[in-house]
Amino acid sequence: MKKYVLAIDQGTTSSCAILFDKKGKPVCLARRGIKTFYPKPGWVEESAKDIWISVLEAITEVLEDSNVNPNEIDSIGITNQRETTVIWDKKTGQPVYNAIIWQSRQSNYLCEQRQSKKDFIFKRTGLLINPYFSASKIRFILDHIPNGQKRAEKGELLFGNIESWLIFKLTEGRVHATDVTNASRTMLLNIKDCKWDKELLKIWNIPMCILPEVHSSSSKFGYATALSCKVNIPICGAIGDQQSALFGQTCFSKGESKNTYGTGCFMLMNIGDKPMLSKNGLLTTVAWKINNKVTYALEASVFMGGATIQWLRDGLQVIKSARDSERYALKVKDTEGVYLVPAFVGLGTPYWDNDVRGAFFGLTRGTNKFHICRAALEGIAYQISDSLKVMQSETRIKLKSLKVDGGASANRFLMQFQSDILGVDVKLPVCVETTALGAAYMSGLSTGFFKDLKTISKNHKYQHIYKPKMKKADVDKKLKGWDTAVKAARTFKI
């Protein structure tokens, strides 16, 4: 009897392999870090080869450390950093350019050239024209390699987001496929019929032949023959990381929401089986597709979440570890009027301002590193508050609680402040690896390892629930200061 599902969680800063049992409990985990390159200001890239190697190493380690026989593994589920773009040679399987990371702004000029098409693109894709998404990244790569467009048109090149790249490598080039959630983040998919759109492809001058085949999130993609074991484990699930976290948090009903505090922060709300287009900067995306039934979500995207804490550590060097940010923040009663707008790569929802840059406000001679750390953490929470305000207004659904996950969800100060600012309970699950768990559930549902959604829901437990404690007058005052800081940051241009 099969006992486990293997989940691959390929994120921006690391690749993780986790074995989950039938209760949705992680039994063994292995992680490998990934080096990120910043060739020019605003450019963010990684080696696609290094990503693949890191995944292989993580899988190998988890199998060795767990002493699990490959015969005991039911299937593999993959979740990934979504918009990150890879183009590779179809014949050799070698990347022709670095993977352009979702955060990168190097293709912004290509988006600006197509602003006249923004309404058409939004109606078809639910997305705003922004270098965040894959289409402009594809165009950039094809423009920056020798004979890129001609090679693509001849069918010599293949495109994929990270899940497609991993599926191709795991199946030793036999399968070139994606799932509908990742496809919905390319700006090339019509989210109403979940098919590649010829008119969108024409806008970006991208040939159809380089695109992967679109599958349901829970379906058989192929066999992982590249693994160094005698058993060919089937790949039966693929889903973008934020949708996967929504699923892993069991947000199966309309109105249920989660926020992932990863490198960026991503709040998603289940909006049911019909797409709804936002008027205030929210994105509409495919949440998942199971048994030919599509579920949609509204999404708010914050570019600097946990990355803000990394900046405190690696950039300012005011902390030695991420954990220090919580300890330092608690050493002062408040920020004494200091605000950090962490717009280091622009602002996402609801502003979508690529030109704004990070800024401190309210600094005095009395400001110290403790105030700065506290302001940085509060800056993360304020961005989520901005997103929720828009989400509740458009859906007319008042949020009762927010389910949270991701690395920074371990920061108790941040979670309590988030609860205070939002005025709702913030729920931290027992299994914080909900992104990987969502991929495991997708794969296991396809094979019958997990019976149904009701069975999955019974697995979900919480280790802590943060309840709002701050007075409304204090919340209002802080939010007013934040609004002022954001307006000032957006006004200042170099």
Containing domain of residue 57, as a range?
Answer: 4-242
Backbone φ and ψ for 67, nearest 5 degrees, come out as 60, 25
Give pLDDT tens digits along the chain (494 positions): 679 999 999 998 899 999 999 999 999 999 999 999 999 988 999 999 999 999 999 999 999 999 888 889 999 999 999 999 999 999 999 999 999 999 899 999 999 999 999 999 999 999 999 999 999 999 999 999 999 999 999 999 999 999 999 999 999 999 999 999 999 999 999 999 999 999 999 999 999 999 999 999 999 999 999 987 778 899 999 999 999 999 999 999 998 999 989 888 989 999 999 999 998 889 999 999 999 899 999 999 888 888 899 999 999 999 999 999 999 999 999 999 999 999 998 898 888 888 899 999 999 999 999 999 999 999 999 999 999 888 988 888 888 889 999 888 999 999 999 999 999 999 999 988 899 999 999 999 999 999 999 999 998 899 999 999 999 999 999 999 999 999 999 998 76
CA distance 168 to 223: 10
Instruction: Spell out the SS3 assignment of the chain.
Output: CCCEEEEEEECCCEEEEEEECCCCCEEEEEEEECCCECCCCCCCEECHHHHHHHHHHHHHHHHHHHCCCHHHEEEEEEEECCCCEEEEECCCCCECCCEECCCCCCCHHHHHCCHHHHHHHHHHHCCCCCCCCHHHHHHHHHHCCCCHHHHHHCCCEEEEEHHHHHHHHHCCCCCCEEEHHHHCCCCCEECCCCEECHHHHHHHCCCHHHCCEEECCEEEEEEECCCCCCCCEEEEEEEEHHHHHHHHCCCCCCCCEEEEECCCEEEEEEEECCCCCCCCCCEEEEEEEECCEEEEEEEEEECCCHHHHHHHHHHCCCCCCHHHHHHHHCCCCCCCCCEEECCECEECCCCCECCCCCEEECCCCCCCHHHHHHHHHHHHHHHHHHHHHHHHHHHCCCCCEEEEECHHHHCHHHHHHHHHHHCCEEEEECCCCHHHHHHHHHHHHHHCCCCCHHHHHHHCCEEEEECCCCCHHHHHHHHHHHHHHHHHHHHCCC
| 77 within some domain | yes
Dmax of the chain from CA atoms? 66
| 18 within some domain | yes
| 177 within some domain | yes
CA distance 247 to 123: 25
| 319 within some domain | no
CA distance 235 to 76: 5
Which residues does residue 402 pair with via DSSP β-bridges, in sequence order?
Answer: 426
List, in order, residues 6 or more apart from 56 with CB less than 8 Å away: 226, 227
pLDDT at 103: 87
Closest CA relative to residue 233, chosen from 244, 221, 248, 241: 221
Counted domains in the chain? 1
| 400 within some domain | no
- Give the burial class of 479: count Cβ atoms within 10 A of its Cβ; 0-12 exposed, 13-18 middle, 19 or more buried: middle
CATH value at residue 142: 3.30.420.40
| 254 within some domain | no
Q: Hey, CA dihedral for 267, 270, 273, 275, is it positive or negative? A: negative
pLDDT at 407: 85
pLDDT at 42: 87
pTM of the model: 0.88
| 250 within some domain | no
List, in order, residues 6 or more apart from 404 with CB less than 8 Å away: 258, 259, 260, 261, 415, 418, 426, 427, 428
List, in order, residues 6 or more apart from 72 with CB less than 8 Å away: 2, 3, 4
pLDDT at 342: 93
pLDDT at 1: 64
Which residues does residue 176 pair with via DSSP β-bridges, in sequence order?
Answer: none
| 287 within some domain | no
For the beta carbon of residue 413, count every other beta carbon within 10 angstroms.
18
